[in-house]
Amino acid sequence: MIPLLDLTAQYHELKSEIDSAVVRVLESSQFILGKETSAFEEEFAGYCDADYAIGVNSGTSALHLALLGAGIGAGDEVITVPFTFYATVATIGYVGATALYVDIDPGTYNMDVRQVEAAITERTRAILVVHLYGQPADMDPILDIARRHKLIVIEDVAQAHGSEYKGRRTGSIGDIGCFSFYPTKNLGAAGEGGRVTSNNPEYARTIGMLRNWGEVNRYHPVLKGYNYRLPAIQSAILRVKLRRLEAWTKARQEFAAAYDRLLEDADVMRPVSIPDVRHVYCLYTIRAANRDHLQDELRDAGIQTAVHYPLPIHLMTAYADERYKAGDFPVAEACAQQVLSLPLYAHMTAAAVEQVAAKVCEVAPKKYLDPLLTSR
């Protein structure tokens, strides 16, 4: 059995450090925010090259607070993609704003920047860009459009901790960055967790207050806030794991490079990187014409895979919007039928990568047209 990922192996690598971090918090009995969360905020801000990092209780809360902190609300529009985890879109709804979709690029699965400008209306206030699967979106054209139209840029970095675009760390390229520490992410908590990053002191101050009931001083809220605090135990565990994140990222990149090589002989599309980015491979996602068959065959061979994501948001019942219908975002709709994420995690083995790749090549062999045969 080869799992999609193995969180137990990750825990065992760091068991003694994680256990003592947890005990340290239990002994201090400072469970909410506190020293551990401030220390993690500082360390994570450094990791992201951001001036501020605010710990929150999930990536969803991070997105919600980013939108609120940027002053986005009822009647406003936010440009984003329909091919993402639905938290991206749900939170736009939480603040009373409307999601405006643009399709994705068929190579990278990220926002097709060529479509952004045409989508802007006089009610558009922000671009919420997702760095899907661990690869940064093409940020320069997005920043350029945002500057010209006075739009705020929010980055959904839930899947891309430590990724870089032209030497800049994601989460500090736009105005506000939103991270998730859901256990399956490149940096995962032992439960829920998230983080907002920014270089803007005003956004950071407002978001810092909103995550803790809008308080400046205890029992004196100045904003209508939320209980979105990051528990100290999660911060303590995340501090331990953050020290391993670079090594884990390198391992992911090496396994991804091995898949790239081994899948040359498969009739599948491998991940495509744009120039000058650091892809951190939260997921190694291929495209296959006969995806469901491939997934069934891999499952029968004891190989676990997953589909991220089987439906674009505009076709989900919960997010149905009369402005959008099937066929409006052909690339997102085709990808939803064809994408398949293969096992990839820092603690897997090269032998497991070879085994997965061999099975993919067997089920979906490349259809070579041998030039010698065809010319005869």
Ligand X SMILES: Cc1ncc(COP(=O)(O)O)c(C=O)c1O
Exposed/middle/buried for residue 121 (C-beta within 10 Å: 0-12, 13-18, 19+): exposed
Interstrand relation of 52-56 and 98-101 (parallel, antiparallel or unpaired): unpaired
Which residue has 């891999």 as its token pair? 298
| Phi, psi (degrees; rounded to nearest 5) at 163 | -75, 155
Smallest gap from Cβ 10 to ligand X, in A, equals: 17
User: Using CB under 6 A as the criterion, which residues of the chain lie in contact with ligand X when the complex forms?
Assistant: 58-60, 84-85, 87-88, 130, 156, 158-159, 180, 182, 192, 194
Axis crossing angle, helix 350-363 with helix 245-262, rounded to the nearest 10: 30
In the complex with ligand X, which residue's Cβ is closer, 198 or 364?
198
- Of all residues in the shown chain, the one whose CB is closest to ligand X is 59
> Which one, of 173, 180, 141, lies nearest residue 157 by Cα?
180
Q: Cα 41 to chain center, whole Å?
A: 19
Q: What number of CA atoms fall less than 13 Å from residue 240's CA on the CB side? A: 21
Q: Which residue's CB is nearer to ligand X, number 10 or number 84?
A: 84
Say if CB 207 and CB 63 are below 8 A apart: no
Q: How far is the CB of 62 from ligand X (least distance, A)?
A: 7
> Least Å distance between CB 122 and ligand X?
28
Q: How far is the CB of 253 from ligand X (least distance, A)?
A: 19
Query: What is the nearest approach in angstroms of ligand X to the Cβ of residue 180?
Result: 3
Q: Give the residue with the Cβ less far from ligand X, 301 or 311.
A: 311
Instruction: Give the pair of three-digit tokens for residue 82.
Output: 């329909």
Q: Output the smallest distance, CB 167 to ligand X, in A.
A: 23
| Minimum CB distance to ligand X smaller for 40 or for 182 | 182
Residue 191 or 221 having the CB closest to ligand X: 191
Dihedral of alpha carbons 99, 105, 110, 115, sign? negative
Nearer to ligand X, 143 or 157 (CB): 157
Q: Are strands 77-80 and 124-130 parallel, antiparallel or unpaired?
A: parallel
